[in-house]
Amino acid sequence: MKVYLPFTNKFLASDRHAELLFKYGKNNFEFSSNIDECLVIPVGPPDTDSILPVISQVANIRNKVILICQETHASEGDNIDTCYRITKRYQEICDHVYYVTLNYGVDTFNTVVFNDYCFNRNKAYFTEYDKFDMSNRLWTSWTDKTSFRLNSIKKIDNAIKKFLIPNNCYYNTNYEIDSDRYKARLLLKNFCSEVDCFYSLPQEGKILEPEGGHEYLLTNLKERTHGMGFIPVANHYYETSIVSAYGETVVDSRNGTRVISEKTFNPLVKGHFILPIGYCGLIRDLEEIYGFIFPKWIDYSYDKFVDTEKRFSKYLESLNKIRNTPIEELVNLRNKDIAILEHNRSIFYSRPYHSLYNSLLNEFSKAGMM
């Protein structure tokens, strides 16, 4: 299966995106810089207007396969209507168009191909970090391999803090002010101001250092207006705290969008317990799709509430339950359930990469192309 994938595919956002989509998981794609000899042409959704005129000139375009590859960042607006609208425009010139997404919630749309991009990325960077140059990638920013080095999971004698809020505890009054994602992050920001915890707040110059603590990386992180990129914080934060509390990328699930990002996968592979505020059913998906397990002493009952305000209210109850538990007791609970931490990390080693190649073969078979 030949794919139009030169070193930099001008139709995709970056070669980093192309690599994670097409090269992981022992795929059998063949790459070529000659677009006319390729069966598969990957494009990025934001570039529809500029790319369509170019692709329409490709020989035999009707018989090609166009893959609309969603960028790694999934918003609450990436729903069935978005997929349909973008796909329909490409279908005007091509008979075989598929929307490749990391959204679990659009599987009822018959030209969607799910790709577990975020899991693949965490698996690759943490379990095979020595194979990759991290220095020139969009989402790893200016980091290097040491940022993805893992320490063994050990019992602890004490903890400095109960909570670690490592990712995206930021807010910007001009950024997504009405979204549930913004409200979740503001909730956590207010919580941080009242509770002794590790947290990042770039707009106030507060940054949790990555593994290695490189000064050039810290300087660049402090200049970010929002977002932290895919730069996991240092191991010692996880080893001196009990629970990672954070807001996921998608919080409003009413339109069916369901995405699990590095915000969840990072603490799980680092060996931490998690308390995420995300879409309704996030914890259920982690259990049923991946096989992660969670301790009984953390109250995840908020996960079942579809109503966002109710879910937020129940989530605060879960936070405060841990907040009001003596840290000595939390240390004992953590050590008692250390096997859970080890199990959750092991999934990143034992679970195979999700294969876009195999997913496409399945779709081609259903479409009678094989």
pLDDT-derived band at 21, boundaries 50, 70, 90: confident
Largest pairwise CA distance in the chain: 69
DSSP string, 64-88: SEEEEE--S---TT-SHHHHHHHHH
First and final CA of the chain: distance in angstroms?
A: 12
Q: Above pLDDT 90, what percent of the chain?
A: 44
Model pLDDT, residue 320: 95
**Residues 285, 265: Cα–Cα separation, whole Å:** 13
CA torsion angle for 106, 61, 42, 92 (degrees, to 10)? -40
> Under 8 Å CB-to-CB from 211, ≥6 apart: which residues?
146, 147, 148, 149, 232, 233, 234, 235
Taking only the tens place, the pLDDT of each residue in 47-63 is 677 888 889 999 999 99
What is the spatial distance between Cα 208 and Cα 185, in angstroms, rounded to a whole number?
A: 17
C-alpha–C-alpha distance, residues 29 and 31, integer Å? 6
Give SS3 for 42: strand
The pairing of beta strand 40-43 with beta strand 30-32: unpaired
How confident is the model over 265-319, as pLDDT tens digits?
999 999 999 999 999 999 999 999 999 999 999 999 999 999 999 999 999 999 9
pLDDT of residue 104: 84
Question: What ranges do the domains of the chain cover?
Answer: 2-115+354-366, 121-350
What is the chain's mean pLDDT, rounded?
Answer: 85
Q: Is the pLDDT of residue 161 over 90?
A: yes
Q: How far is CA 354 from the centre of its chain?
A: 14
Q: What is the DSSP string of 74-138?
A: --TT-SHHHHHHHHHHHHTT-SEEEEEES-GGGTTSTTEEE--HHHHHHHHHHHSGGG---TTBT
Euclidean distance between CA atoms 271 and 75, whole angstroms: 27
The confidence score (pLDDT) of residue 229 equals 65
pLDDT, tens digit (0-9, with 9 covering 90-100), for 178-215: 678 888 888 888 888 778 899 887 767 777 888 876 66
- Exposure of 74 by Cβ count < 10 A (0-12 exposed, 13-18 middle, 19+ buried)? buried
Asked if 113 contacts 359 with a C-beta cutoff of 8 angstroms, the reply is yes
pLDDT value of position 138: 52
Residue 144 identity: D
pLDDT digits over 65-109, tens only?
999 987 666 666 666 777 888 889 999 999 999 999 888 877 667
pLDDT number for residue 152: 97
- Cβ within 8 Å of residue 252, ≥6 positions away: 76, 179, 180, 181, 279, 308
**DSSP 3-state assignment of 259?**
coil
